[in-house]
Structure 1
Amino acid sequence: MSEQDQPPGVPGSPAREPVFLLPSAVAALAGLIVAIHLASTLVLNEEGQIELLFWFAFQPYRIVLMGEDPSFGLPLLWSPFSHALLHAGWDHVLFNVAWLVIFATPVARRYGAGAMVALFLVSSAAGAAFFAATTLYQGIYLLGASGGVAGLTGAAIRFMFQPVLMGRNPETGEPVVLGRRLASVGEVFTNPRSRYFALIWLVLNAAVPLVPVLTGQDLNIAWQAHLGGFFAGLLLVGLFEKKG
């Protein structure tokens, strides 16, 4: 039964509100991330968790090792995407899932489940590419959904800060909500609300490498994945906009 349906035989009864306000694709993706971490912590022993990271987390150093043995590069076929489903701890999971729910929801409602998932995966891969560019010889792993979520954030700010457009029903003349226009990248940085959001977000992530220099403590935040994912979502979301 949809929101507008009324129970049969009860004229004038109020429309039912949906039990879950999240789009099903967003709920499914969030649930998958939680389920994978739950399973990895409850089912796998320490050796199994190491194997999980070895095969499904993203390790840029594999690119170097391919020169010695091409088989080392095999996980590079899927790990730029699969790393987004793995997390280091429950705090990592909960933070990324909360951010996912906030920004995947408007993207899924505007473009549908397929486009939302595609942007998440492509942004995850873009984040992995940026991460590889700065950590190639360090032998460290990248895991977490933050690159994909950053891409959905970049996509969402292209329209969520724009004013609501109104039109009129050609038959009744009544006002009709048309939605929000997709802003150009330039307009994102001229609209005060989206500009401040984007600049604060970018500055905070770009400042992460300075923290160890100033405090001597490493935050273990993959700022490169955040920036790579963000710009991927910001630039690519227009591909999913309907023409005409």
Structure 2
Amino acid sequence: MESPPQYPQDLPQDAAPQAPREPLLTLPGPLTAYVLLLAVIHLRVLLPPELENWTVDVFGFIPKRYDSTLLAINFPGGAGAKVWTFVTYSLLHANLSHIGFNVLWLLPFGSALARRFGAIRFFLFMAVTAAAGALAHLVTHEHAVAPMIGASASVSGTMAAAMRFAFVKGSFLSFSRGDADAAARVPALSLMRALRNPRVLAFLVIWFGVNIIFGIGSIAIGSDGASVAWQAHIGGFLAGLVLFSLFDPVPRSAADAADASSSDASHSG
């Protein structure tokens, strides 16, 4: 004799279906919009060469633009370009490999940050870290005429900001993590606790080491041989690391975050 069918209310409690987990690398809306914006703006390369060069001069960051000496050059864009280029340069890229490299690094770190911050905070954070990168480039290249372009400073900022919570138990770089939204909203470490975390310190050493090697070796990227503006990377990175708390909407319990981080670190031995 066949047994009668079991209905949901007859199932054991531990057999209740679980909600599917969202993949960690599913792009959140704000990051998708940012990547699409970069892609659309990159269509400028289809313009005639003289017009394409004009867009780089008007929206790229040129340190010489701020030179007040008698040898100052009149660049396109006038006084307004001295303001907007602190951010707009980050939306321009030299070629597909340049934009692809930045987007590749944004996938894990930018996704986590966009989920945590939401659209407005995320876009403002990208603008602030871009401006910090431009300022670092200006200080170290005071008389440079070549435009700086690329989102690398902002990308570096997202990497640094993500380090404030990435290794906490349940987050996206921990050994025990939840779904994408839960992983992005774990309580963050304070700056001082983060700088005492061995895994955060290891990440910082590797990141700064790679950028210093790029700077000392004058390593070029892309087919056109454009050099890496590594000082801008460092400016964006430090801004993201230090200013993270100003943007973070997730309440932070320092003790809970520290305990969770310590517990998670014990699994790495």
Compute the TM-score of the two structures, normalised by the length of structure 1.
0.79
What residue number does 1:199 align with?
205
**Aligned Cα root-mean-square deviation (Å):** 2.9
What CA deviation, in whole Å up to 9, does each residue of 1:125-179 have, x standing for no partner?
00000001111112121100001111111111011111239xxxxxxxxxxx795
- Alignment CA distance shift 1:74-1:184 (3 Å): same
Corresponding residue SS for 2:99: helix
Instruction: Measure, in 2, the Cα distance between the counterparts of 1:89 and 1:235.
Output: 31
Displacement after TM superposition at 1:192 (Å):
1.6
- Alignment CA distance shift 1:114-1:40 (3 Å): same
Name which one, 1 or 2, has greater alpha-carbon Rg: 2
**Is contact 1:83-1:144 (8 Å) kept?**
yes
Partner of residue 136 from structure 2, selected from 99, 115, 130: 130
What residue number does 1:86 align with?
92
Instruction: Measure, in 2, the Cα distance between the counterparts of 1:203 and 1:135.
Output: 21
Q: How does 1:141-152 map to 2 (within 5 A)?
A: 141-152=147-158
Partner of residue 58 from structure 1, selected from 61, 64, 69: 61
Instruction: Measure, in 2, the Cα distance between the counterparts of 1:183 and 1:209.
Output: 30
% identity of equivalent residues: 32
What residue number does 1:173 align with?
none
Instruction: Measure, in 2, the Cα distance between the counterparts of 1:108 and 1:66.
Output: 42
What residue number does 1:45 align with?
48
Corresponding residue SS for 1:140: coil
Displacement after TM superposition at 1:25 (Å):
0.7
Amino acid of the residue matched to residue 103 of structure 1?
F
What residue number does 1:116 align with?
122
Corresponding residue SS for 2:150: coil
Corresponding residue SS for 2:31: helix
- Alignment CA distance shift 1:46-1:212 (3 Å): same
Corresponding residue SS for 1:209: helix
**Is contact 1:33-1:86 (8 Å) kept?**
yes
Where do 5+ consecutive residues of structure 2 fail to align?
1-15, 172-181, 220-224, 253-269
Corresponding residue SS for 2:101: helix
Instruction: Measure, in 1, the Cα distance between the counterparts of 2:230 and 2:155.
Output: 13
**Is contact 2:218-2:228 (8 Å) kept?**
no
Q: How does 1:70-109 map to 2 (within 5 A)?
A: 72-109=78-115
- Alignment CA distance shift 1:209-1:241 (3 Å): closer
Instruction: Measure, in 1, the Cα distance between the counterparts of 2:18 and 2:37.
Output: 34
What CA deviation, in whole Å up to 9, does each residue of 1:62-110 have, x standing for no partner?
0015865797443111011001110001000101111122211111111
- Alignment CA distance shift 1:65-1:140 (3 Å): farther
Runs of 4+ aligned residues of structure 1 deviating over 6 Å after TM superposition are 12-20
Corresponding residue SS for 1:126: helix
Q: How does 1:216-231 map to 2 (within 5 A)?
A: 220-231=227-238
Instruction: Measure, in 1, the Cα distance between the counterparts of 2:187 and 2:18.
Output: 32
Instruction: Measure, in 2, the Cα distance between the counterparts of 1:91 and 1:40.
Output: 16
Compute the TM-score of the two structures, normalised by the length of structure 2.
0.72
Instruction: Measure, in 2, the Cα distance between the counterparts of 1:58 and 1:89.
Output: 17
**Is contact 1:108-1:116 (8 Å) kept?**
yes
- Alignment CA distance shift 1:56-1:237 (3 Å): same
Instruction: Measure, in 1, the Cα distance between the counterparts of 2:160 and 2:93.
Output: 22
**Is contact 1:211-1:219 (8 Å) kept?**
no
What CA deviation, in whole Å up to 9, does each residue of 1:35-68 have, x standing for no partner?
211x2122x0110111011100000100015865
What residue number does 2:262 align with?
none
Instruction: Measure, in 2, the Cα distance between the counterparts of 1:212 and 1:241.
Output: 35
Instruction: Measure, in 2, the Cα distance between the counterparts of 1:152 and 1:120.
Output: 8
Displacement after TM superposition at 1:185 (Å):
2.1
Partner of residue 33 from structure 2, selected from 22, 28, 48: 28
